[in-house]
Structure 1
């Protein structure tokens, strides 16, 4: 009994170390990610699987940089940019983030509304307004950490994609070959999809969110070197676990759509119904139910992260108080919660455009991929600067991975525009 008790306690202690990184990873598989990975699998088959494997260390490095800046400095990213860079750089980074987040919120809310319409019928516009207001009210009046404990169970529907991978016939040798040596057609469509996958995997809103959550998670105060090193080790574990979870689900979504939709000749996903069909091998008549739960669950997790990261960015840029622990009933955080309301309502209004939700989700991922490049360059400069980080500048390995991620995304974006 004692060894079992010791192992249980060790497991529980390990789980307690997981926080902002795990939540960030779960939020990364939002409706935009599901749609993008599904489109990549349907259009290119196994050809895009390498992107999910290749981006894992790059994604983990950038998120680790963001978390480290937040913890070591005790300030969010925009506050650090404001302190160390010209105002025009601050305004460009924050403006790009807020614009991209608002469009992403619109796409996510529209997808949630369409998923519910598939399940019960009715008006997608009515559902969009309902979801938007629900996300806003919950974020303003209920701590994110409180309701995420319940909503995360809806995201378990995403494991249905893992079940699809395990239940259908897959040539695993071909999968391994595609990951190591992918065969892809050249041209604009390929680069566009790569940018979309990168944008939904290495998303700018996640940088600002995780840094802010590290600030919120522990009130900043002077630490000894040993305490800081211990806490940075926790952040590293938390981030790697969260990003690995995110990319595992992404890999399974892409592989399952490749093995089902692409194999059946469906190479372009235009509607939510088509995307849901990837789950039919294991879900049958419950296909739309599982798909709907996954979209709604990840959307309800992601929309507050998108709106919250925009609010953190604006608050840091303006010098406002910015924290989800602020209480409106005590006259606190009017500017901070005002940005959350503006971003959420703005996204809700954009849901009334005639664009199909699946296309909106894909293009929001592309926009995130473009916007991420300049923000990543600024983050890497901050994290490498002893004036900002003191003796806790990022390691050489993280620096190489972070700049590799920035360069690769930059080259891909330039190639997309050139073609």
Structure 2
């Protein structure tokens, strides 16, 4: 059954270019939008507050790199009809798989907890009478109910509509008086500061935009999307893959990654133009960023920033917990899938519940949410090179991909991504020690 979103779009735009374009959007757009979660918002806000417009160039740089890697993941899912974890399990030594799980699980759990905290904090800002912890509990309960109660198709529909919340960040800068020539300069000419704080924020930005958990999610969702497009029948490897499908997949992924980087650009632009210029260089919580914006740019802009945090959190948490549970289920051979009921995949859903509860516990342990978010992004930045190397190897493995191996251009962008992520991580480690 097609989602309500797809039905509405077919009715509204079926015979238009817009309608044909919207029908191609799916896992790629959801992946790109979920990348701008409260973790990303916090990282971009901190970058803007600390360094003004000096990190704007990273949005321009990261788009082709993100598109290349996520495109490889999508192609792997499309061709193999299975998740990245299963492919690693079938074709590579077990230690490789266990290493991926070891570096991914702590970062994902920390990310979940930090997102819950960030959402609870902005809810408390809007309704001060209710303590943060109550909002965090309510958000966790809502996520549990939604993920367990609804099928993959309905969750995908909800996630697609939540993507709209990201447009709020594109509006905020146009409510301000900005020097667009200065903005263009910082966008196209890198302004690099050779110190620990700047290198840390660059690694954090790269880590939160090119995140390992998105690699697993993109691959699995592409496989599930194709399974559902085939009337629910599990297809054999490589069957139904043609040039049109690959072209539609690239359109979806490129649109999602472009959207993600545009949002990133505008968040850095807003906080860099407002907070940095006002001398507010440290953002300790996500709600503090929203509060700091209010007296400087007005209540409307601050409210848009706040609503964006809530929308992206609701979008990202199912992606985070889902990707983690898919990884665990595929490793241990459990029944898995967001299209299955709780009774059909108990272990899969229990792992999601545990991930949410562990994430929620961070609030009661007094973990600073902004530091947790930044540390998460840095951990992603340090571990991403290993995953990128594995994805490139899979993408060029003819035994797995048959005739659908990476193009020379994909390999070029993948190699550049690997070099850049490795160099950034090495520079950070060197600066720390």
TM-score with structure 1 length normalisation? Answer: 0.93
Whether contact under 8 Å (1:273, 1:288) holds in the other structure is no
Measure, in 2, the Cα distance between the counterparts of 1:146 and 1:6. 21
Measure, in 1, the Cα distance between the counterparts of 2:335 and 2:58. 38
Measure, in 2, the Cα distance between the counterparts of 1:147 and 1:80. 25
Measure, in 1, the Cα distance between the counterparts of 2:142 and 2:13. 42
Whether contact under 8 Å (2:120, 2:135) holds in the other structure is yes
What corresponds to 2:28 in structure 1?
Answer: 21
What corresponds to 1:403 in structure 2?
Answer: 415
What corresponds to 2:277 in structure 1?
Answer: 263
What corresponds to 2:51 in structure 1?
Answer: 44
CA shift digits 1:174-193 (9 cap, x unpaired): 22222222222202111100
Change (3 A) 1:112 1:152: farther
C-alpha deviation, 1:26, in angstroms: 1.1
1:357 aligned onto 2:364? no
In the alignment, structure 1 segments of 5+ residues that lack a partner are none
C-alpha deviation, 1:151, in angstroms: 6.0
Tell me the SS of whatever aligns to 1:413.
Answer: helix
What corresponds to 1:272 in structure 2?
Answer: 286
1:304 aligned onto 2:312? no
C-alpha deviation, 1:297, in angstroms: 1.2
Whether contact under 8 Å (2:44, 2:268) holds in the other structure is yes
1:210 aligned onto 2:222? no
What corresponds to 2:348 in structure 1?
Answer: 336
Pick the structure with more helix per residue. 1
Whether contact under 8 Å (1:40, 1:254) holds in the other structure is yes
Q: How does 1:11-410 map to 2 (within 5 A)?
A: 11-121=18-128, 122-147=130-155, 149-150=157-158, 156-219=164-227, 221-222=235-236, 227-277=241-291, 279-280=293-294, 284-328=298-342, 331-410=343-422
Whether contact under 8 Å (1:164, 1:281) holds in the other structure is no
C-alpha deviation, 1:349, in angstroms: 1.2
TM-score with structure 2 length normalisation? Answer: 0.90
CA shift digits 1:270-292 (9 cap, x unpaired): 23343114654897234553333
Measure, in 1, the Cα distance between the counterparts of 2:180 and 2:402. 47
Measure, in 2, the Cα distance between the counterparts of 1:309 and 1:274. 30
Measure, in 1, the Cα distance between the counterparts of 2:144 and 2:237. 36
Whether contact under 8 Å (1:202, 1:372) holds in the other structure is yes
Tell me the SS of whatever aligns to 2:16.
Answer: helix
C-alpha deviation, 1:383, in angstroms: 0.7
Q: Which moved more, 1:155-164 or 1:406-415?
A: 155-164
C-alpha deviation, 1:48, in angstroms: 0.3
C-alpha deviation, 1:163, in angstroms: 2.4
Change (3 A) 1:142 1:282: farther
CA shift digits 1:53-102 (9 cap, x unpaired): 10100001110011111110111001001111111110110222222110
Change (3 A) 1:157 1:343: same
Detail structure 1 runs of 4+ shifted over 6 Å in the superposition. Answer: 223-226
Measure, in 1, the Cα distance between the counterparts of 2:283 and 2:276. 10
